[in-house]
């Protein structure tokens, strides 16, 4: 049986040499880079904003046991209901109970990575409940039977021609349809679903402790429709999304939107504080917030790595990462891809199966540089590597290899004992396959620097 790590290596090599894929990604990330550069130039003191965000998230993670109950109490005051879920199975079980009680046949969903994390769509389909993605990018990848490619722009890997072909095959649209025509068609298909749906399911960008609210940022308005028309609204949110006060949105909303898409603010920013009140004309009759752990407390227990929980899911580190730009989002085989996914996935889904992601990095530090809450991402990757070794999760062959390398590197006699020819032979013997089919092995000089230096000095002194 092929391991997840072995799949990663095969998929990464295939994607890295897929010229079409590279062209699309470079084009889309190029547009993102230009927009973000313009957006960041409007922030007067970017470094100060990053530091402030880092400190706020640090305080939240250090006091989760206090701020989460504060959120719960304030949310319940306005008639909302809170469900605490230790893992994905618990969350899905509780959600299914709500849906069955309401006799639900159709669910509309706004974009949410946490629902991808718990594989909610597949679970609902298995229980004969239609779950429809209403974000355009998510809708496209759902039609293709794929997972999101990117945590912010789920269909980043597709060109407009790819999407036109999909809509032509599925809905009879002209093969040369423009993006505007494709968007209009999706809107027509989805509009009736909002009215027909029994339940709306969303994630949330932030949990606000002092008001007992959730905040949702989006650009299409589909989250507002998903939370307004259905009688029941369920928000599934990771426990790390908590911020202390509604006043902190003044910092986090612009930082999220600017780093995520280059906008000053996303088009729609919504604060929801419970079901419809007596004096209100719209909104759901019932509102639930599912607070999901699902391995987050494992990461919280790692004092050096709990920084990974500060993430506000802007996607900036993905777009900056040279590895992500070459191997693509699907290669990671996890809901959260790119550098931040490589940090948190081993703690959420198990170090044994996902330790390889922490090695999928050049350690260039660009991810850390662009992070809006100053997570030391490349350092976290090194710490994950250390933990994998400490926990004995590396193969015996690798342990012996490093032991021999260390012994040799610490001994000049051993270094000089083997000629360059011998060293090149061993490198070809042991590393040619892992080095890659498309790269030449490096050549070790016939004589070491020390030997060359000694011979040079002897010649000059004669």
Closest CA to 8 of 245, 411, 429, 357: 357
Q: Each residue's pLDDT tens digit in the chain (462 positions)? A: 568 998 998 999 899 999 999 999 999 999 999 999 999 999 999 999 999 999 999 999 999 999 999 999 999 999 999 999 999 999 999 999 999 999 999 999 999 999 999 999 999 999 999 999 999 999 999 999 999 999 999 999 999 999 999 999 999 999 999 999 999 999 999 988 999 999 999 999 999 999 999 999 999 999 999 999 999 999 999 999 999 999 999 999 999 999 999 999 999 999 999 999 998 888 999 999 999 999 999 999 999 999 999 999 999 999 999 999 999 999 999 999 999 999 999 999 999 999 999 999 999 999 999 999 999 999 999 999 999 999 988 888 888 888 888 888 888 788 777 778 888 888 888 777 777 777 788 888 888 887 888 888 887 666
Closest CA to 149 of 262, 11, 290: 11
The answer for residues whose C-beta is within 8 angstroms of residue 93's C-beta and 6 or more apart is none
Q: Do 191 and 240 form a contact (C-beta atoms < 8 A)?
A: no
Helices 249-261 and 19-41 sit at what angle, rounded to 10 degrees? 140
Instruction: Give residue for tokens 């946490």.
Output: 114
State the distance between the two ends of the chain, measured CA to CA, in whole angstroms.
65
CB-CB neighbours of 215 under 10 Å? 22
Tell how many helices (H) and how many strands (E) occur in the chain.
Answer: 23, 10
What one-character DSSP code corresponds to residue 442?
A: P
φ/ψ (deg, to 5) at 290: -95, 115
Q: What is the H or E stretch that residue 26 is in?
A: helix 19-41
Domain ranges for the chain, please list them: 1-42+315-394, 47-294, 408-461
Identify the pLDDT of residue 455.
85
The answer for residues whose C-beta is within 8 angstroms of residue 125's C-beta and 6 or more apart is 131
Q: Which residues in 274-407 belong to E strands, given as ranges?
A: 286-292
The answer for residues whose C-beta is within 8 angstroms of residue 7's C-beta and 6 or more apart is 333
How far is Cα 338 from Cα 359, in angstroms, rounded to an integer? 12
Q: Which two tokens stand for residue 164?
A: 């036109």
Identify the pLDDT of residue 462.
61
Q: Do 107 and 96 form a contact (C-beta atoms < 8 A)?
A: no
Closest CA to 383 of 410, 347, 353: 347
Q: Using alpha carbons, list the distances in angstroms from residue 414 to 203, 259, 423.
A: 58, 51, 12
What one-character DSSP code corresponds to residue 444?
A: -
Q: What is the SS3 assignment for 105? A: coil
CATH 3.40.50.10420 fits 47-294, yes or no: yes
Q: Distance between alpha carbon 446 and the CA centroid of its chain, in Å?
A: 46
How far is Cα 174 from Cα 159, in angstroms, rounded to an integer? 16
How far is Cα 189 from Cα 184, in angstroms, rounded to an integer? 9
Identify the pLDDT of residue 22.
93
């Amino acid at each position: 049986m092929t391991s997840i790590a072995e799949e990663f290596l095969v998929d990464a090599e295939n994607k890295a040499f897929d010229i079409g894929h590279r062209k699309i990604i470079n084009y889309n990330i190029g547009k993102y880079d230009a927009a973000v550069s313009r957006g960041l130039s409007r922030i007067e003191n970017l470094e100060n904003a990053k530091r402030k965000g880092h400190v706020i998230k640090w305080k939240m993670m250090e006091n989760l046991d206090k701020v989460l109950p504060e959120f719960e109490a304030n949310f319940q005051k306005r008639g909302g209901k809170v469900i605490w879920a230790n893992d994905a199975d618990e969350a899905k079980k509780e959600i299914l109970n709500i849906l069955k009680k309401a006799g639900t046949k159709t669910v509309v969903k706004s974009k949410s990575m946490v629902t991808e994390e718990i594989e909610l769509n597949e679970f609902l389909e298995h229980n004969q409940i239609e779950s429809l993605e209403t974000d355009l990018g998510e809708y496209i990848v759902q039609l293709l039977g794929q997972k999101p490619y990117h945590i912010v722009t789920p269909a980043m890997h597709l060109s407009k021609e790819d999407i036109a072909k999909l809509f032509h095959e599925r809905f009879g649209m002209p093969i040369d349809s423009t993006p505007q025509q494709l968007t209009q068609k999706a809107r027509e298909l989805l509009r009736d679903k909002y009215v027909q749906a029994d339940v709306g399911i969303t994630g949330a960008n932030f949990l606000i402790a002092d008001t007992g609210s959730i905040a949702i940022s989006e650009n299409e308005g589909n989250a507002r429709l998903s939370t307004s028309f259905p009688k029941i609204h369920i928000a599934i949110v990771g426990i790390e999304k908590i911020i202390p006060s509604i006043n902190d949105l003044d910092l986090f909303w612009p930082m999220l939107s600017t780093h995520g898409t280059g906008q000053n603010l996303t088009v729609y920013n919504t604060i929801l504080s419970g079901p419809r009140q007596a004096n209100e004309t719209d909104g759901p009759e019932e509102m639930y917030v599912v607070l999901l752990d699902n391995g987050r407390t494992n990461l919280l227990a790692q004092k050096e790595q709990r920084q990974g929980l500060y993430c506000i899911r802007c996607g900036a580190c993905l777009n900056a990462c040279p590895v992500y730009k070459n191997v693509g989002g699907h290669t990671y085989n996890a809901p959260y891809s790119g550098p931040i996914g490589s940090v948190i996935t081993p703690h959420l889904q198990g170090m044994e199966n996902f330790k390889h992601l922490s090695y999928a990095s050049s350690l260039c530090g660009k991810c850390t540089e662009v992070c809006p809450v100053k997570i030391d991402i490349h350092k976290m990757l090194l710490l994950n590597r250390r933990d994998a070794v400490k926990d004995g999760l590396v193969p015996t062959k690798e342990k012996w290899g490093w032991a021999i390398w260390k012994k040799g590197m610490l001994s000049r006699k051993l270094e000089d004992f083997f000629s360059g020819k011998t060293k090149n032979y061993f490198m070809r013997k042991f590393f040619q396959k892992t080095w890659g089919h498309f790269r030449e092995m490096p050549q070790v000089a016939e004589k070491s620097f020390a030997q060359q230096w000694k011979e040079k000095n002897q010649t000059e002194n004669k």
